[in-house]
Amino acid sequence: MEAATRNKKKQARDGACESIWQSSAGGLQTSPAEDKVYDVIVVGGGITGITTALLLQEAGKQCLLIEASETGFGTTGGTSAHLNTFFDTTYPEIDGDFGETASKLVADSGKEALSFIRELTGRYAIDCDFEYKDGFLFSQNKKETEQLAEILASSKAAGIAVEEAADNGVHVPFERALRFAQQAQFHPLKYIRALAAEFLKLNGTLLEHTFAEGAEFKDSVHLVKTADAVHQARHLIYATHMPPGITLANFTCAPYRSYVLGLTLKDDRYPDCLSYDMQEPYHYFRSHEIDGHRYLLVGGEDHKTGEGDPAAAFERLESYIRTYYEVDKIAFRWSSQYYVPVDGLPYIGKLPLGSDHTYVATGYNGNGMMFGTLAAMILRDQVLGKVNRYSELFSPSRIKPVAGFSEFVKENAGAAWHFVADRFSLEDLESTAQLKAGEGRVVTFRGEKIALYKDSLGKVTALSPVCTHAGCIVNFNPEERSWDCPCHGGRFDLSGKVLTGPPQKDLKVYDLNG
Ligand code: FES
């Protein structure tokens, strides 16, 4: 079989900022797809897609894994890689919205997913810096302390090993703290790359730099179109956060960006734990050693995609950490995208209103490494026709009117506003002359709305700002140098190429000389 090797240059990701993980890229031996009906096509080469493909290949299925860029290009290459048994949606919130039995199930699923990551690292002798750590959650005012007490009670009731702690693991003042035992961290790209290598050893097929342009279901077979072929499979799994097209997921999940700094300290006060404050949005801490150098990773300042000010978010994060730590150098700064689910829990399973045997996994909130792994376990069982005790709770078809809904209405209202108002009331600009080097903006040019970007040499690129998914207007992200859609999180690079679905088509390129 003819093989092609990805060259070993730095790992690519979906933004201009460099994440701390990208320096340790490795090549993968890939092979061409065969002209046959595969058992499963998995679209998306992040932790969800790769783990799912591996588990199904292990189970004897023939899988084709399709990735638009390189494995780890998306959120998995930009995560801060915390492995937790407590989640952004807290156990008291799950108790209130789904009931205490659901909380126990979520707790069990988290413990199972974390153990399973550990099991895979052992089974395949994966060197991915996996380490168990204590996880601390701490309050800083009366209201947070009351919430912390509720979290302690609900987490314990759900079966999570947690206790009050005298410390919070970081040099940040606090009122009360909880210690969650046996949390963990790892290097996400080393981990998924090793899983991908095992998938290939088991004769799985991986196509990188292959964009799934569309799919149809005919005579019980999925036909997935790419630039130079139509691939066939009995089952189709979208591990791309948002599945393509207009789906229910567009109305149940809202896209957010989270910011991370990787920095060195003037002293040696690197945290030997995972730690989280309770502010909104919260901040999180941990350390990681890369190429013999220790870094403190601090993250947070999340905001809805396409709406906040990325530069200001980085500034706030830097100011926050400098308040408590003697920063020597900020070596890395990057942001990454995740999806917040309307009722707090991820959607994993059969795609509602989709063709037969079409599956989706999305809405992980900030817990993608955990829920991505859990999704792989659930989807494997569903494809194999086995019962999985978590299927019903995480079903994308669940109908759950919950307290969080009113909050989500705001998200949807935001999306609706962008559908209409952005198209007609953006500030009109008469020429490109007002753009500085490195700046991008939606302007009016010859009567058309145009997304303009001027590079450092003064070259201007002109694109249609109309998102090819559902017609919202994209906004410029000056930090990641991308065009981000506020409606469902679609993102495009400076040349208009799709970086992040659900859009499947690139932005239209305008010829400025035409
Ligand atoms: Fe849906 Fe842009 S991602 S309209």
**Residue of 473, 487, 507 with the most ligand 1 atoms within 8 Å of its CB, for mutation:** 487
In a domain, 97, yes or no: no
Q: Domain holding 417: CATH number?
A: 2.102.10.10
Mean pLDDT of the chain: 89
Would you say residue 122 has pLDDT above 50?
Answer: yes
Q: How far is the CA of 470 from the centre of ligand 1 (A)?
A: 5
Would you say residue 40 has pLDDT above 60?
Answer: yes
Q: How far is the CA of 49 from the centre of ligand 1 (A)?
A: 22
Q: How far apart are CA 469 and CA 502, in angstroms?
A: 6
In a domain, 439, yes or no: yes
Q: Dig out the tokens for 164 from the structure.
A: 């009050």
Q: How far apart are CA 55 and CA 282, in angstroms?
A: 34
- Do strands 448-454 and 131-138 pair parallel, antiparallel, or not at all (unpaired)? unpaired
In a domain, 489, yes or no: yes
Q: How far is the CA of 333 from the centre of ligand 1 (A)?
A: 26
Task: Give the mean pLDDT of 202-213.
Answer: 95
- Do strands 230-238 and 37-43 pair parallel, antiparallel, or not at all (unpaired)? parallel
In a domain, 499, yes or no: yes
pLDDT tens profile 106-115? 999 999 999 9
Q: Is the bond leading into 346 cis (omega within 30 degrees of zero)?
A: no
What is the atom index within ligand 1 of the atom nearest the CA of 242?
3
253 lines ligand 1 (CB under 6 A): no
SS3 507: coil
Q: Which helix (H) or strand (E) holds 102?
A: helix 100-123
3-state SS string for 269-296? CCCCCEEECCCCCCCEEEEEEECCEEEE
Task: Give the mean pLDDT of 203-230.
Answer: 94
What is the atom index within ligand 1 of the atom nearest the CA of 472?
4
pLDDT tens profile 185-194? 999 999 999 9
Task: Give the mean pLDDT of 395-400.
Answer: 82
What is the atom index within ligand 1 of the atom nearest the CA of 250?
1
Q: How far apart are CA 293 and CA 189, in angstroms?
A: 18
**Residue of 419, 472, 482, 507 with the most ligand 1 atoms within 8 Å of its CB, for mutation:** 472
Would you say residue 447 has pLDDT above 70?
Answer: no
CB atoms within 10 A of CB 78: 30
Q: Which residue has the higher pLDDT, 352 or 206?
A: 206
Q: Which residue has the higher pLDDT, 370 or 342?
A: 370
Would you say residue 90 has pLDDT above 60?
Answer: yes
Q: How far is the CA of 476 from the centre of ligand 1 (A)?
A: 14
Q: pTM surpassing 0.85?
A: yes
Would you say residue 414 has pLDDT above 70?
Answer: no
Residues 6+ apart with CB under 8 A from 430: 443, 444
Q: How far is the CA of 409 from the centre of ligand 1 (A)?
A: 17
Percentage of the residues of the chain whose pLDDT score is greater than 90: 73
Q: Which residue has the higher pLDDT, 37 or 398?
A: 37
Q: Which domain holds residue 482?
A: 407-510
Closest residue by CA, ligand 1 atom 4:
470
Would you say residue 469 has pLDDT above 90?
Answer: yes
Q: How far is the CA of 465 from the centre of ligand 1 (A)?
A: 11
Least confident range from 26-30, 390-394, 407-411, 448-452: namely: 407-411
470 lines ligand 1 (CB under 6 A): yes
In a domain, 278, yes or no: no
Question: In 124-168, where does DSSP find H-type helix?
Answer: 142-158
Task: Give the mean pLDDT of 47-66.
Answer: 98
465 lines ligand 1 (CB under 6 A): no
Would you say residue 224 has pLDDT above 70?
Answer: yes
What is the atom index within ligand 1 of the atom nearest the CA of 474?
2
In a domain, 338, yes or no: no
Confidence at residue 2, expressed as pLDDT on a 0 to 100 scale: 35
In 3D, which of 133, 120, 269, 142 has the Cα closest to residue 194? 120
Task: Give the mean pLDDT of 378-383.
Answer: 98
pLDDT tens profile 285-334? 999 999 899 999 999 999 999 888 999 999 999 999 999 999 999 999 99
507 lines ligand 1 (CB under 6 A): no
pLDDT tens profile 243-281? 988 777 877 899 999 999 999 999 999 999 999 999 998
Q: How far is the CA of 190 from the centre of ligand 1 (A)?
A: 31
Confidence at residue 150, expressed as pLDDT on a 0 to 100 scale: 98
Strands (E), 120-198: 131-138, 162-165, 177-185
- Domain count across the chain: 1
Would you say residue 117 has pLDDT above 50?
Answer: yes
Confidence at residue 3, expressed as pLDDT on a 0 to 100 scale: 38
In a domain, 202, yes or no: no
Would you say residue 91 has pLDDT above 60?
Answer: yes
Confidence at residue 415, expressed as pLDDT on a 0 to 100 scale: 58
Q: How far is the CA of 468 from the centre of ligand 1 (A)?
A: 7
344 lines ligand 1 (CB under 6 A): no
472 lines ligand 1 (CB under 6 A): yes
Confidence at residue 418, expressed as pLDDT on a 0 to 100 scale: 52
Least confident range from 259-263, 439-443, 483-487: namely: 439-443
Task: Give the mean pLDDT of 223-227.
Answer: 95
485 lines ligand 1 (CB under 6 A): yes
503 lines ligand 1 (CB under 6 A): yes
In a domain, 397, yes or no: no
Confidence at residue 269, expressed as pLDDT on a 0 to 100 scale: 97
Least confident range from 24-38, 215-229, 351-365: namely: 24-38
Would you say residue 223 has pLDDT above 70?
Answer: yes
Would you say residue 355 has pLDDT above 90?
Answer: no
Would you say residue 419 has pLDDT above 50?
Answer: no
| Contacts for 179-182: CB closer than 8 Å, 24+ residues apart | 179/134, 179/135, 179/136, 180/84, 180/85, 180/86, 180/134, 180/135, 180/136, 180/137, 180/155, 181/134, 182/85, 182/114, 182/132
**Residue of 485, 492, 498, 508 with the most ligand 1 atoms within 8 Å of its CB, for mutation:** 485
The pair phi, psi for residue 312, each rounded to 5°, is -65, -35
CB atoms within 10 A of CB 75: 24
SS3 24: helix
**Residue of 247, 488, 491, 504 with the most ligand 1 atoms within 8 Å of its CB, for mutation:** 488
